[in-house]
Structure 1
């Protein structure tokens, strides 16, 4: 079984980014919109069944960063990643600040 989780951390505050909207889109355009929980995490993706393919996570960072910091250079951050059939669990963290971001494949 293939599973996906994400975690958004605000590196300026040193805290999770709670209440951030995230959209998962698969290779054929099916999408699901959800929000990070109070710990900045998300692992519920609605009816999308993950299979070997390319996916996109769009993090709607602009409104969060404007609310918390009064400034945002990035209205959203898109991360494209490839899932393989035997990939198991995928964890895609996002580290954000008003003027920068980074991501990696977590565990």
Structure 2
């Protein structure tokens, strides 16, 4: 089994992609991958061929309130696309869809397998002065 992950950060307050946001993927205390979002707010892919298991996806958005946004993910098999929508004082995330070609293990092109559903827990750290 193999896992891959991409992400996308949107600045919903300004109505545009959030470029230059640092994103890091951890397994335990070990950093597995790190990159900054491009001009379209994307990192594609952030990680490929990683082992299934628990991971932390940590974003450092440009926000006066959020110092970082951390997601705890249970990644199984397949590709995961995890967008972050952020504004100065709010954020949300979801499991996004990802365009892909059909494969023998997938009955519908572009659709994730039913076994590939992550559980997510979120928390953020407030910036202190």
Provide the C-alpha distance between the structure 2 equivalents of 1:29 and 1:14, rounded to a whole number of angstroms: 34
Name the SS for the 1:18 alignment partner. coil
Measured on the aligned residues, the alpha-carbon RMSD in Å equals 1.7
Aligned residue runs from structure 1 range 60-99, under 5 A: 60-61=60-61, 64-65=62-63, 72-84=64-76, 87-99=77-89
CA deviations on 1:26-75 (whole Å, 9 max, x unpaired) are 136233321001000002446x74111011111011xx23xxxxxx1111
How many matched pairs? 96
Q: Structure 1: which 4+ aligned runs deviate by more than 3 Å?
A: none
Provide the C-alpha distance between the structure 2 equivalents of 1:100 and 1:59, rounded to a whole number of angstroms: 14
The answer on whether the counterparts of 2:7 and 2:45 sit within 8 Å (CA) in structure 1 is no
Unaligned runs of 5+ in 1: 66-71
More helix by share: 1
Structure number with greater CO (CA < 8 Å, separation at least 6) is 1
